Structure 1
Amino acid sequence: MTSKQPLTYFIADLHLVESRTDITDCFLAFLQTEATKAQTLYILGDLFEYWIGDDNDTAFNRKIATALKTLSDTGTAIYFIQGNRDFAIGKDYCKQAGMTLLDDVELIDLYGQQAVILHGDTLCTRDVEYQKFRKKSRTWWWQGIMRALPLFVRRNMAENYRKKSAAATAMKAQEIMDVTPSEVIETLEAYHCQLMIHGHTHRPYRHKIEANGQPAERIVLGDWYDQGAWLKVTPDSMELLNQPFKG
């Protein structure tokens, strides 16, 4: 194993799909270069564009799992929180990829500072239609029904949902798609914490806010549609960084 620096990376919203080789190439390069230096990598949801089940054993899914497991084997701890597109990723795939599956919301120690980490979709409470779907799709009975369907049926359903979701998103006001400020504050105060890190909204920024009667910060991770994006954290600094796609 290589010696690891006191360094942690956070990524989210890669939306990996076989047709987007530019995203995949950038991600694999990140795993083989930047991430190998780190003690820890947190993937905060939507690693894949969609996930129809751990039994969908494709060459592409194995390729990503192998790359992650290779990083894990060097001593970098990898933690994964399910997103709204890949909430069906389970323990089987996480084991294959050398990742530890976390709960929807986690409180972690980040070099002496407590941080609440999550995908971020639960913060968007003004998107009522989506929250109803989210609640239903996380139930044991709904997931049981989905897993019982043949893979080709699940794949067609996922593709149809992607199209409907894109059309619905285009019609929604921007404030509906963003986080509800009061939900952010309530979450931070529930965990007695001053730092939140999440993805989902695709609006990378470091927001200065107030929670628990004190200054607080909400860091939003960038998506990987047009470039690689990650949050780099050391004991002394936090930086939102971008990496252009090659050629």
Structure 2
Amino acid sequence: MTTLFISDLHLDETRPDISRAFFEFLRDDASKAQALYILGDFFESWIGDDDRSTLIDEVSLALKALTDSGVALYIMHGNRDFLIGQQFCATVGGQLLSDPSVIQINGEATLLMHGDSLCSDDQEYMRFRKMLRSPQWQQDALAKPLEERRAIAKHLRMMSSEANSNKAEDIMDVNLDDVSRAMQTHQCQRLIHGHTHRPNRHPMTIDGQPAERIVLGDWDSAVWVLRANNDNLKLEQHPFPSTSA
């Protein structure tokens, strides 16, 4: 059976092309899989499970149809949608996955992460991340009215965009020492993560043994999916569906 891994769709009302690609992916690909893992930044922003929009409703219905058909769904927080909660997961029939998590793929322990916690060279972001992941900050944020939360989310996205525009590219990538430590801590020779928008497969050596780090791609201009099938893992890129489809 096939297991699929995706991340960094950044679903947003302003990008209907990505939503259209996702719905086609669910219909033509994920519906035939055993399980689908979404490793963070599924939405461009998430201000609480009580938020409603046309996009959220459409995505919820599509995911519920997928899980009702028997496909297992796992959702991990990203740095954009870390407020996704149990209510949303229950609505769509999915399971909220801790970051990090270890699963078995073809008998091999595999570490799953969003990836932002590995970008430790970006100390400014790490301080920002620590604040946003604080239970007290999240509790205070979720207690605010929806409109105020929308304004906060918009402000945070603006701050992030401005900060990233002034940073060197390499500082926003993962720290390889942290990657090795994470894999050693969890006793895994394979790591799958997203976040960096740098899809690739990186051979490594961990504790003298061959290992691999697989980076999922973002869906800004193409569909990226990692397909695990029998003994084979394949990182695939597919074009978005045409608007006439």
User: TM bucket by the smaller chain?
Assistant: over 0.9
1:246 to partner: Cα distance: 2.4
Amino acid at match of 2:11: L
1:157 to partner: Cα distance: 1.2
Aligned to 2:172: 177
Deviations 1:88-141 (A, max 9, x none): 000001111111001110010012111000100011001111111111111221
> CA–CA distance in 2 between the matches of 1:165 and 1:147?
20
Q: Once structures 1 and 2 are overlaid, which stretch shifts more, 129-138 or 6-15?
A: 129-138
> CA–CA distance in 2 between the matches of 1:180 and 1:209?
14
Equivalenced residues, count:
242
Amino acid at match of 2:70: G
Gaps spanning 5+ residues in structure 2: where? none
* Residues 192 and 212 in structure 1, CA contact (< 8 A), matched pair in contact too: no
1:59 to partner: Cα distance: 2.3
Q: Helix, strand or coil: the match of 1:143?
A: helix
Aligned to 1:64: 59
Amino acid at match of 1:22: D
* Residues 228 and 244 in structure 1, CA contact (< 8 A), matched pair in contact too: yes
Aligned to 2:34: 39
- 2:5 corresponds to 1:10: yes
Match of 2:96 among 101, 124, 136: 101
> CA–CA distance in 2 between the matches of 1:108 and 1:125?
24
* Residues 116 and 193 in structure 1, CA contact (< 8 A), matched pair in contact too: yes
> CA–CA distance in 2 between the matches of 1:194 and 1:87?
27
Q: Helix, strand or coil: the match of 1:13?
A: coil
Match of 2:48 among 28, 38, 53: 53
> CA–CA distance in 1 between the matches of 2:38 and 2:174?
19
Gaps spanning 5+ residues in structure 1: where? 1-5
> CA–CA distance in 1 between the matches of 2:42 and 2:52?
16
* Residues 36 and 74 in structure 1, CA contact (< 8 A), matched pair in contact too: yes
* Residues 118 and 198 in structure 1, CA contact (< 8 A), matched pair in contact too: yes
1:178 to partner: Cα distance: 0.1
Aligned to 1:147: 142
* Root-mean-square deviation over aligned CA pairs: 0.8
Q: How does 1:97-246 map to 2 (within 5 A)?
A: 97-246=92-241
Q: Helix, strand or coil: the match of 1:109?
A: strand
> CA–CA distance in 2 between the matches of 1:80 and 1:26?
18
Amino acid at match of 2:65: T
Runs of 4+ in structure 1 displaced over 6 angstroms? none
Q: Once structures 1 and 2 are overlaid, which stretch shifts more, 237-246 or 217-226?
A: 237-246
TM-score, reference length from structure 1? 0.96
Amino acid at match of 1:57: R
Amino acid at match of 1:8: T
Q: Once structures 1 and 2 are overlaid, which stretch shifts more, 85-94 or 155-164?
A: 155-164
* Residues 13 and 223 in structure 1, CA contact (< 8 A), matched pair in contact too: yes
> CA–CA distance in 1 between the matches of 2:152 and 2:188?
39
Q: How does 1:15-30 map to 2 (within 5 A)?
A: 15-30=10-25
Deviations 1:28-55 (A, max 9, x none): 0000110011101000000000001111
Give the % identical residues. 46
Amino acid at match of 1:46: D
> CA–CA distance in 2 between the matches of 1:211 and 1:152?
48
